[in-house]
Structure 1
């Protein structure tokens, strides 16, 4: 995923948390905020140490990033999106995580 598509700064995370909307299922929580002046969506990921060791957390982040790459043509452009992984994610494979993300995008109407 390109660097321009990532949210890195704490201020940007806090803005989405405070002013954005959220939705959750058992595996993931999504926060999203519409930004009119933005040309493409941006993504921030949060995987807590409660999920597991560094290897597990990095694997979960890789799966989520890959799911965004696969779904990027279907996601609305001018949004900041933050995904927070919950504990059941550590036992899921890529296809289950992608399906869970698709459910969130469908429910939050972030699909084009």
Structure 2
């Protein structure tokens, strides 16, 4: 993912989460906040409940690939994805379909 499509700053994470618009699935929770600029940005958070650093990095790599395959980055909102432990129990394709359905909901609800 390009740098302009990433959210790294913790204050930006907090502002998006405090906006309190979210979509929940068993594998992850998406927090959404509209923005005025011309492209979407994504932040991924994988807590220590998922496992050690190797497992968390693998999950984040998988999520980045899912996002690159499902999103066009032309939308005008920011997304924070909080990964839940159930993510590890599901297969890649199942998690990808969940992400696709949630992103479609986000686009429709805007």
Q: Take 1:23 and 1:40, find their aligned partners in 2: how far apart are those partners?
A: 20
- Aligned to 1:109, what secondary structure does the other structure show? helix
- Can you list the C-alpha shifts for 1:14-59, whole angstroms capped at 9, x where unaligned? 11011241010111100000002x1110000000110011111111
Q: Take 2:49 and 2:100, find their aligned partners in 1: how far apart are those partners?
A: 24
Say whether the 8 Å CA contact 1:47–1:57 is kept in structure 2. Answer: yes
Q: CA deviation at 1:93?
A: 3.2
Query: What TM-score comes out, normalization by structure 1 length?
Result: 0.88
Partner of 1:88: 86
- Structure 2 residue 56 is matched with structure 1 residue 50: no
Q: CA deviation at 1:90?
A: 1.7
Q: CA deviation at 1:8?
A: 0.5
Q: Which runs of 5+ in 1 are unaligned?
A: none
- Structure 2 residue 23 is matched with structure 1 residue 30: no
Q: Take 1:102 and 1:71, find their aligned partners in 2: how far apart are those partners?
A: 6
- Aligned to 1:90, what secondary structure does the other structure show? helix
Q: Take 2:7 and 2:20, find their aligned partners in 1: how far apart are those partners?
A: 14
Q: 1:46 to 1:99 in 2, by over 3 A?
A: same
- Aligned to 2:80, what secondary structure does the other structure show? strand
Q: 1:80 to 1:103 in 2, by over 3 A?
A: same
Partner of 1:98: 96
Q: Which runs of 5+ in 2 are unaligned?
A: none
Q: Take 1:106 and 1:4, find their aligned partners in 2: how far apart are those partners?
A: 22
Aligned pairs, number: 110
Query: What TM-score comes out, normalization by structure 2 length?
Result: 0.89
Q: CA deviation at 1:2?
A: 0.4
